[in-house]
Structure 1
Amino acid sequence: MNDFKCLVKEHGRFQIELKLRYPVKNIMNRYSLQIYIFSPKVLAIDKKNYGTSAFLKDLKVMTRISTPEILFINIVREDCETSPVYRIKKELNQRLIESKTNSANIIYELRTLASIVRVQMRKTRVYLIKRIEKEEDPELLKNWYAGFLNDLNIFLECFRELKKDFISPDISEELRLAYDWADESISLNIQREFGIMHKYCKNSGRVNIFCDVLNEAILNEMNHREHYHYPSAEVDISKRASGEALVYRQSVLKKWSQSVMYLNTESSFHPERVTQIIAGTAAAVAMSFAVITSILTNHYFPQNSTIWALALVLAYILKDRIKETLRTGLKSLFPMAVADRMNILKDAAVQKQIGNYKSFVDFHTADKIDPEIKKVRGFERKPFHNILPSENVILYKHMIKLDGKKIFKNHKRVNSITEIIRLELHKFIQLMDDPDRLYYYSVGDEVKKKRLPRVYHLNMVTVLRERKSGEQNVYHHRLVLNREGLIRVENVRL
């Protein structure tokens, strides 16, 4: 399915981040995620040395509504009912009729608007850099970019025109602050993306025509924040403490705007209850066997005789074995009911459940994995893979259910859900060797040596599947690490 997306990237030296997107329809949506992590045998990443609870402790899952994608020119359209600006104006006009203001709705739209601008600016920057890399005609790029800047300026003028409505006496201080935060966040994002574009254009040496325009746009945003005395404008970046304050301010504004999209997660006690029922059932059956055996022993054998004692000992030995076997067997019969982790997803806007997810963790060796997954991993291209030590595999299975009707009831702009999964890598690097090795080579009559980097590869195969139709997307990424942490993430072409 083309609507699936999977992006894997570094999140610091000791953490990776998967960003997954699931399309949402106005029905009950059911998706499954499978992540296979292949690691070299020497790293000893198995059930004995790692284990399910430790792995889940290193794994963090966050779910949010995907940021709506609305072009700047559409945000200012009077007939665009999904535009945050349209909705803010509607709420402000409504207050004149009803003499009251729905502060929660306006703040929600302001935070959403800041997130939309961040996404649109990032997409524009990525698109521009791709066009430059493909050596597109500079004149065509110039015309396209002029159109984009015109749309952006129209949006900024329209949004900042709302400032006068927020200084009205009947507007609460909380709403004024929310508008200022949204404006400051938008300004900082525009400045950041223009700064990245400026640096790339200057370094490329091919499209210097953009540099002056971008520089002017950056200065405009800096002057705008200074004019309204926003906190981010009142810092001296030449001083370390001020620089730290600016970064902190950017982080606060980003969290303020993005958190409106995140779903609240609550742990479910369902798996624990099912596990207890299974354990209790197994114990009851085993105890019944022991009691019946004891009664029959007393009936058929003389009390306190050798055979009577042996029969009772055997009964109690079998009782423990029966209990463990039954517990394992019952768990295998109801795998979906006995998840390693189960969470309820709640819409933060209305605090109502809109879905849930279940997670399962298994540890295998590569020879026990599905042949199709091994094919994606690339074992067929590796000589002698059958006689080399088999790689260890962590299989993380994730089943997510989303009630589209409940989601669309409160979020008309939604077309997908984004899941962010972060995995700590400290456990994977514990047994790694020194990060470099000496290599000896000859140059003429002289033998030289050079230190070469020693790296390890973790191969990650990700499968996203729509459970009803069975349609799926498969991705293969390679994590390159050494003892000092994650070096890079490679996207392996299938």
Structure 2
Amino acid sequence: MIDVRVHSSRHLETKITYPISEHTSYDRDVNYYIFTPAQLHVSAGFISDEAMLRKFQAHARYSSPEITLDELLDKGNRTSPLVLLESYTQQRVERSGDVADTIFMHELQTLSNSFRHESGIILSECRELAKENKLDELRGLLQDWYKETGYAMERFRALLKMMRVHYPTGNRMVTAFEWADEAISLVVESTSLEMYLSLEPLFGELQESAYNLLRHSRAELGYRREQKYESVVSKGNRYSTEAVAYRSGVLKKWTQSVLYLTPVHSKAPQRVAGVLAGTAAAIAMTFATLAAIFAETFFLKNSMQWALLVILAYVFKDRIKEGLRALFSRVVPRLLADQISSFISPRTGKRLSRTKVVIHIKKASDMPPEIQD
């Protein structure tokens, strides 16, 4: 399934989810047909494939970690980022292990992403239960939300306290823990508030649950104010709301940066194109050389016949070179692609996927019948 998102009149995004195979690789072909009005003059006569290629970008990222709050809190779950952080922090404080700072960063970002993803799922479930008026299930869901998020935050903030004792203020590890703490706090606050608003038609039946949600949300706001985090609206500052929105965006971008794969663009298409262009020049020069030898053999040097033959040879040499270059430029994408990119995992350094982009600029009448219909 392709998710199409229109960000603006000049920015269109398509999103496709591919599973990562554990044992075998596989290929997927995706064809995009983009039609433009004739007034824009987007045709092969006005724009080259290279210029059109610069208007497209391919990115790859991991999906958000799908881990429930129960799995996150399970101390026996060795894949839980919270459990891993507890183990790494203990090793760092006791100096019993050498865990790299980048590993800490990745787990902090993964923990924040896990919270964000699971909070979105729970919020959707809350809205569905409220719409269907399933009060008992809704009470249980909300009770688990207070309990599990509160316990998770308690355990994580104990780690933050340990790191603040172990490192001086301003240390990059302490800053990373604080950023993760602030990001998770924002998620818990906003999700609790959204849940509270979704219960508005049921306030009479779920008054206590609604009150607990509001208290939970305000507790996180008060905590961030106490910690002097930037994501708090201050009184008397009319720009603080925009500053909080900006801060929230920065934290979200930081936490999700661990999901993005590093693109490495292959130079193979350019190298093959260079070799073929050189081949075209060599063929053209061969023709010109043979023509010059022929002129030297059968005509007197510097005579009118000799000069005309050399001039014609030069003209044909230039046309042969340009014609072959145009031919080869159409052949290269068929052999390779206009652009080849590999995507590398930032943590393991392994290549996870590769994309090949081929662009054809054609008339609408040249499209396959099923596309025209």
TM-score by length of 1: 0.65
Aligned pair partner of 1:244 in 236, 242, 246: 242
Is residue 194–residue 218 contact of structure 1 (8 Å, CA) maintained in 2?
yes
Aligned pair partner of 2:7 in 8, 11, 15: 11
Separation in 2 of the partners of 1:37 and 1:199? Answer: 41
1:158 is paired with a residue of what secondary structure? helix
**Partner residue, 2:228:** 229
* Displacement after TM superposition at 1:119 (Å): 1.6
Is residue 274–residue 337 contact of structure 1 (8 Å, CA) maintained in 2?
no
Give per-residue Cα distances to partners, 1:296-323, cap 9 Å, x unaligned. 2333455566655544444333322322
* Displacement after TM superposition at 1:111 (Å): 1.3
Is residue 196–residue 213 contact of structure 2 (8 Å, CA) maintained in 1?
yes
Aligned pair partner of 2:327 in 310, 319, 329: 329
Q: Is the deviation greater in 54-63 or in 215-224?
A: 54-63
Counterpart residue identity of residue 182, structure 1 = A
Structure 2 residue 76 is the aligned partner of structure 1 residue 79: yes
**Partner residue, 1:61:** 58
2:333 is paired with a residue of what secondary structure? coil
**1:75-114 mapped onto 2 (5 Å cutoff):** 75-95=72-92, 96=94, 98=96, 102-114=100-112
Q: Is the deviation greater in 67-76 or in 259-268?
A: 259-268
Q: Would you tell me which structure has more strand in proportion to its own residues?
A: 1
**Partner residue, 1:21:** 17
Separation in 2 of the partners of 1:329 and 1:54? Answer: 18
* Displacement after TM superposition at 1:9 (Å): 1.6
TM-score by length of 2: 0.83
Separation in 2 of the partners of 1:75 and 1:29? Answer: 32
* Displacement after TM superposition at 1:143 (Å): 4.1
After superposition, the Cα gap between the structure-2 partners of 1:275 and 1:100, relative to the gap in structure 1 and judged at 3 Å, is closer
**Partner residue, 1:260:** 258
* Displacement after TM superposition at 1:75 (Å): 0.5
Is residue 81–residue 107 contact of structure 2 (8 Å, CA) maintained in 1?
yes
Aligned pair partner of 1:191 in 169, 189, 192: 189
Separation in 2 of the partners of 1:240 and 1:123? Answer: 33
Separation in 2 of the partners of 1:140 and 1:314? Answer: 92
Counterpart residue identity of residue 108, structure 1 = H
**Partner residue, 2:43:** 46
Separation in 1 of the partners of 2:228 and 2:172? Answer: 17
Separation in 2 of the partners of 1:47 and 1:196? Answer: 51
Separation in 2 of the partners of 1:306 and 1:201? Answer: 97
Q: Is the deviation greater in 72-81 or in 327-336?
A: 327-336
Is residue 73–residue 152 contact of structure 1 (8 Å, CA) maintained in 2?
no
**Partner residue, 2:154:** 157
Separation in 1 of the partners of 2:124 and 2:298? Answer: 84
Is residue 275–residue 338 contact of structure 1 (8 Å, CA) maintained in 2?
no
Separation in 2 of the partners of 1:6 and 1:336? Answer: 25
Percent identical: 29
Separation in 2 of the partners of 1:127 and 1:362? Answer: 45
Aligned pair partner of 1:136 in 105, 129, 132: 132
After superposition, the Cα gap between the structure-2 partners of 1:365 and 1:356, relative to the gap in structure 1 and judged at 3 Å, is same
Q: Would you tell me which structure has more helix in proportion to its own residues?
A: 2
Give per-residue Cα distances to partners, 1:165-218, cap 9 Å, x unaligned. 33443688332222221111011122223344444554xx46774754442332
2:228 is paired with a residue of what secondary structure? coil
Is residue 138–residue 207 contact of structure 1 (8 Å, CA) maintained in 2?
no
Is residue 65–residue 261 contact of structure 1 (8 Å, CA) maintained in 2?
yes
* Displacement after TM superposition at 1:239 (Å): 2.7
* Displacement after TM superposition at 1:252 (Å): 2.1
* Displacement after TM superposition at 1:258 (Å): 1.3
**Partner residue, 2:318:** 320
Larger radius of gyration, structure 1 or 2?
2
1:63 is paired with a residue of what secondary structure? coil
Give per-residue Cα distances to partners, 1:86-114, cap 9 Å, x unaligned. 11122123343626554332222111111
**Partner residue, 2:163:** 166
* Displacement after TM superposition at 1:223 (Å): 1.9
Separation in 1 of the partners of 2:351 and 2:337? Answer: 19
Separation in 2 of the partners of 1:275 and 1:151? Answer: 59
After superposition, the Cα gap between the structure-2 partners of 1:50 and 1:330, relative to the gap in structure 1 and judged at 3 Å, is closer
After superposition, the Cα gap between the structure-2 partners of 1:8 and 1:193, relative to the gap in structure 1 and judged at 3 Å, is farther
1:281 is paired with a residue of what secondary structure? helix
Separation in 1 of the partners of 2:136 and 2:37? Answer: 50
Aligned pair partner of 2:173 in 160, 172, 175: 175
After superposition, the Cα gap between the structure-2 partners of 1:206 and 1:99, relative to the gap in structure 1 and judged at 3 Å, is closer
Separation in 2 of the partners of 1:32 and 1:238? Answer: 56
After superposition, the Cα gap between the structure-2 partners of 1:62 and 1:116, relative to the gap in structure 1 and judged at 3 Å, is same
* Displacement after TM superposition at 1:336 (Å): 5.3
Number of equivalences:
366
After superposition, the Cα gap between the structure-2 partners of 1:94 and 1:20, relative to the gap in structure 1 and judged at 3 Å, is same
Is residue 73–residue 155 contact of structure 1 (8 Å, CA) maintained in 2?
no
**Partner residue, 1:276:** 274
* Displacement after TM superposition at 1:278 (Å): 0.9
* Displacement after TM superposition at 1:237 (Å): 6.2
Two-structure CA RMSD over aligned residues (Å): 3.2
Is residue 4–residue 14 contact of structure 2 (8 Å, CA) maintained in 1?
yes
Separation in 2 of the partners of 1:284 and 1:66? Answer: 50
Separation in 2 of the partners of 1:144 and 1:34? Answer: 46
**Partner residue, 1:296:** 294
Q: Is the deviation greater in 263-272 or in 15-24?
A: 263-272
Give per-residue Cα distances to partners, 1:39-94, cap 9 Å, x unaligned. 33344333344543443433343322222211111011122121101111221233
Unaligned segments of structure 2, at least 5 residues: none
Separation in 2 of the partners of 1:314 and 1:262? Answer: 57
Separation in 2 of the partners of 1:19 and 1:207? Answer: 39
Separation in 2 of the partners of 1:75 and 1:170? Answer: 26
1:98 is paired with a residue of what secondary structure? coil
